[in-house]
A and B are shown apart, each in its own frame.
Chain A
């Protein structure tokens, strides 16, 4: 699991996001985010250079008459 500090997350929440922090939530935030960071980094293995992001609200392009 990646090494994240509660203090770092608290700063992001309060300074960047403007969301009040309950310190009791931070250990859970650290655990949840930390457990996914390696997997998120490994998305680079997919060679995404030529891939555009999925468009959020549109149906799959495979739809015969999809938009």
Chain B
């Protein structure tokens, strides 16, 4: 197989070849590094590329394979990490000027778990500064580009993770998701993104945006690959008290393709209001394809879900301001203008408004859990619009003009509030060739059903035959 083709292998495919010793981790890692070196100057998905370290790690892992010490399906798989996930001895910038030279002394739990599973770190991926924005626009390191249209934003805040996975610059990646930052770039870049349940994956060693809304999740080109990454990093962590002692199932074994009899609820409230016409058509078509697989579709109401928008605003604003206040008092000029202004808004949120939002959260979580007693999962668009141009600040949909950030986060941020797991899977392309994402929302700690549904849908999705122009 030519080096250029190696990077198109899924994690499952490459891992199988590595296990059978028909593919060398060094060969695979070098193929990715060469591709990054040749092409990423334009796409800017990486902030830091670790060529020597990655090749050394791959060589060590190859020796283990030869010695019969196989770690599992991530053994020798090259990945990228969003650059707010701490990595020992490797700078972790958070996409900021303030932390441009910060070199942590420890790995985040998720990083160490992936390394222990045999993953090879190719580099640290670009992001919206301190993860505070859904567009990925970054004034310090350049804005990562969407491989489906170089003038389009990849979405954020995990912009480099989304663009990098879609452009075959890594086999998989980790992102973080506070209001949609895994699922939005997944949707805009035509890849899979999973926000696990709050408490399923450790956040220890991940620089926070808003403690009570932050999640770490896998981003990949297939659902099976997301399952493999989640498998390696899920589970309780003594370093993160928010993680739960909930058993982690074998996700991959659940990917049988059989979904007949599962019940999926369509939530029209909020999620289907004002959609780009191509998004509406693609999501409705996905519903029919799921029906064709034997899934029972039902209408489900979440009549109070509109309250999620102001509640999430108050929580993110207050918590992010609390974290950043020391920097804002002394180094405010080093922030990009948009992130600084958003952070400073947080000091004007009253404590009573913050607590009211956390009380509203209980009500909305109960409403969501009640809906998920009627069905196995909920279905919504991931984003109401496809990828905007990088210079667009407002977009008009069905006659309503609004901020791009509001459009991008509308369908994702309520799920950060309730903490449910949510999976974004590509479900089609717009007439202009931009990806569209389908969001599946599951019961607390039931990522397995989402992966099962997403995997079955992926096999019949019209998207599966397409690749981004920048991948050629």
Q: Which residues of A contact B (CB under 8 A)?
A: 9, 12-13, 16-22, 24-25, 28-29, 32-33, 36, 39-40, 42-46, 48, 51-54, 56-60, 62-67
Q: Are A32 and B245 in contact (CB under 8 A)?
A: no
Q: For residue A29, give the distance in angstroms from its CB to the closest CB of chain B.
A: 5
Decide if B419 touches A29 in the complex (CB within 8 Å): no
Assuming the A-B contacts A20-B329, A40-B314, A57-B242, are A29 and B341 also in contact, with contact meaning beta carbons closer than 8 angstroms in the complex?
yes
CB distance from A65 to the nearest CB of B (A): 5
Which of these, B246, B313, B345, B363, contacts A51 with CB under 8 Å? B363
Q: Beta-carbon contacts of B332-367 to A below 8 Å, as 1s and 0s?
A: 110001101110110111000101111111110100
- The verdict on A43 contacting B310 (CB below 8 Å), with A32-B341, A57-B211 known, is yes
* CB proximity of B237 to chain A, nearest CB, Å: 12
Give the shortest distance, in Å, between A38 (CB) and chain B (any CB). 8
> When the two chains form the complex, which single residue of A17, A19, A44, A54 contacts B358, counting CB atoms closer than 8 Å?
A54
CB pair B310–A40 under 8 Å, yes or no, is: yes
B454 at the A interface (CB under 8 A): no
A60 touches B347 (CB 8 A): no
Is A19 a contact partner of B199 (Cβ separation < 8 A)? no
Q: Is the CB of A36 within 8 A of B365?
A: no
- Would A60 and B199 be within 8 Å (CB), given that A51-B363, A53-B358 are in contact? yes
Nearest Cβ distance between residue A3 and chain B, in whole angstroms?
14
**Is the CB–CB distance between A46 and B309 below 8 Å?**
no
**With A33-B345, A40-B314, A51-B363 as contacts: A65 and B307 at CB distance below 8 Å:** no
Residues of A near B306 (CB, < 8 A) are: 39
Answer whether residue B212 sits at the interface, using C-beta atoms and an 8 A cutoff: yes
Contact residues in A for B246 (Cβ distance below 8 Å): 59, 63-66
**Chain B interface, >50% SS class:** helix
CB contacts under 8 Å to A, within B237-256, are 241-246
In the assembled complex, how far is the CB of residue B314 from the closest CB belonging to chain A, in whole angstroms?
A: 6
Contacts of A51 in B (CB 8 A): 359-360, 362-363
Nearest CB to that of B342 among chain A residues?
A32
Query: Per a CB cutoff under 8 Å, which of A29, A53, A66 touches B355?
Result: A53
B307 touches A43 (CB 8 A): yes
B276 within 8 A of A: no
Partner of B212, one of A16, A45, A56: A56
* A56 to B246 CA separation, bound complex (whole angstroms): 19
Whether A66 pairs with B342 at a CB distance below 8 angstroms is: no
- The residues of A that contact B241 with a CB separation of less than 8 Å are 57-58, 67
Whether the Cβ atoms of A54 and B199 lie closer than 8 Å is: no
A29 touches B360 (CB 8 A): no
Q: Is the CB of A56 within 8 A of B358?
A: yes
Interchain Cβ contacts under 8 Å between A and B, 27 examples: A19-B329, A25-B340, A25-B344, A29-B344, A33-B345, A36-B310, A39-B313, A40-B310, A43-B307, A48-B359, A48-B360, A48-B363, A51-B359, A51-B363, A53-B359, A54-B212, A54-B361, A56-B212, A57-B211, A59-B197, A59-B242, A59-B244, A60-B444, A63-B445, A64-B246, A66-B199, A67-B244
